[in-house]
Structure 1
């Protein structure tokens, strides 16, 4: 039976039932595996920020350029997402995941041999390019296995970006202190490749009733003409300007401006990550319960994020930073689960990977530019508050952009039933 989805063209997607309470646990295993792969991918991208101040000084990198490695990664990552999304739709999420994790592990391992700014930028770009399909592949699999509780599943999947902050700040500085920063990146590279292989072997095949329609240029053209998809892409980029701008620089700002030890500054970011970890599935679940108010939830999160960033900028003691950190974790990450769910809803099953990749490319542009903007602001003014004001611009723009959406995108009925057995392809 042919059905028309939100992006325009008629797609022969099968109408699939929503996930029920008595469904198989197989889908949760798939979610756990793609989540683990996403965690390692995010730890790789955040690792430099946790040791940027001391290692950058030893390498002779100026304060203004400490964010250059993060910016290099996100430019590569944003570029690769444009190809990674369609790749996931064409070869399947499981195969695309493996094609991302193996090269990422190799590039992360090689970063341990970097000794100059130019070499570091080059390798970070390669790391970004290698990991471009990871996010798209994961969302492709989640979209295939989950139905009306997709918001909760995506919220859980999205916790990878927050728990990885806690993991990176807790593990990388400690490994660097004990074994040297180069060996820390060697260990991350090996772990990344290993988890990618485990996820590929353990994720199994996609449900039988997932759409088998081939991705065409018409699907991509329909996405490019969809107003809500464009607004969600812009809003996500502005939101990540704030999220990545803060995460990339918070540790270095606390170290440089207030003289905290890297481990102490990292503990503040760990609190942010833990709070974000719990907020994403809860806010995703709330969006499942109130699908027609998803936009309002996202606007509320982003507005709160901007305010809390300014409050954080006025803090001066470790106790104050600890008190504000949980609010940053909740508001600075909770909106992501909502935006991701809406992206997959406007796209439909056939284009889910492409929509995730194209939108994420725009999103990551915000993450790519923000570290440099914050770095130059701090280097030029020496002001902790002004640096946070630059970060806060992003969520303000994101909240305003979402107000122009035509509607909230409720869960679509084409999500795979979890009771379906796997079939012959990814």
Structure 2
């Protein structure tokens, strides 16, 4: 009993980075992309969801592994690979961050409008949302919100499992007369497949956030977990994100596939449809609970995205332009807040540019993430299998083999997309 209590105490001190990762992943990739996958293509998308989640796994784990083993972020590791590697990571982050943040923010605004029945603010909803997010993070009040997000995430988890079980019990809907499934292997189908895999469970370049959050958790608890403790916490979170992705594909298939209905392109209407997806299986009484839970999870996602990008940019800029460690620490808050404002402004420009086209914005952001994924994957593998990590902390032979397979998989699909797009 004493041993069990000790393990639970250690796990509670370690838990946090994995939960933040899960909150980030369960947002757009699950609520939007997985639901669309099932609704448009049916259960055939399950294989791709499972495959890409397995293939990407090592590169996310390596962020947590490197941070625990070296007590530094994997971004510090990129500098050890050479200044060109750090600069490339910096440029790739800048190239993608406005589109990623814009897509997540736009979806979150839709769930906000759906929850409160607001339709008169238009794009100002996103502006207000971003101001609130920047304000919360700038004054450092994220800890309380993080605790709330974990509670609501449990509610969403329970709701998703309930809806999934009800959907299995009721079975799939009967296809309408004359229904013809969408073609997966044409240009639009391939584009969506890459978009789905780009953020399944999330973008590979976000693996650097795992290492930053792992270090932050150690600082908060003043507890340095063993490597196996850090990896256990992350693996549990990753497994949950994978299971939920499968559930969302099944829900989209059983409730929408063959119905002849198209999921809306407007962010607020889409949010309403997703929430209705739950209530049609659980019951109308659950609408407000599901709507509140979905918005809160998306709000947690956009907060995590702002925090992750700002932290990673701050650390990258410090490593590139600052040589002395004491100067790095004194400038942290200034850099962090500046990047929060910069990311917010740039993302709003992207949102205004795409207008009210939810699917186009989300697909563009996710495909962009997929195309740059192989570069980050190679960097992460080099850092945990070479001279930069002690032998006892390096991954197993199985993970190394899976990593090579993952790099080939990500590179092959990215190259296939670029060739297809160029000659189409």
Q: TM-score, normalised by structure 2?
A: 0.32
Q: Which has the higher helix share?
A: 2
Q: TM-score, normalised by structure 1?
A: 0.32
